[in-house]
Amino acid sequence: MGLLNFLFGNNNKKIQDFKKRDAVILDVRTKPEFDAGAISGSVHIPLNEIPSKIIEIKQWNKPVITCCASGVRSGSAAKTLNNNDIEAINGGGWRSLQKKL
């Protein structure tokens, strides 16, 4: 098991399950990072804005796959969403997530 799998878990099966259920890809990087490249169709809400957007995100009524540059911020975002009764998983870095989709 690689270090990243140990830290972030191997969630390929969960990602595929979420994808089948029309999950929203939520990119939590900064605007300049997002503008430099992102997964097509992903929604951009910077990590620091997640707490103020919980009601909006709940209204999507869909599971959420979070992503960022490396997986650290998206892990934090997924935890915040889960703590607010939103089904979410950490998709990790956006580039690696894009390959899994």
* Terminal Cα distance for the chain, rounded: 22
| pLDDT tens digits, one per residue of 56-88 | 999 999 999 999 999 999 999 999 999 999 999
Residues 31-50: tens digit of each pLDDT? 999 999 999 999 999 999 99
pLDDT of residue 4: 52
Which candidate, 46, 37, 40, places its Cα nearest to that of 66?
A: 46
pTM value surpassing 0.85: yes
Asked if the 10-100 domain carries CATH number 3.40.250.10, the reply is yes
Domain boundaries, the chain: 10-100
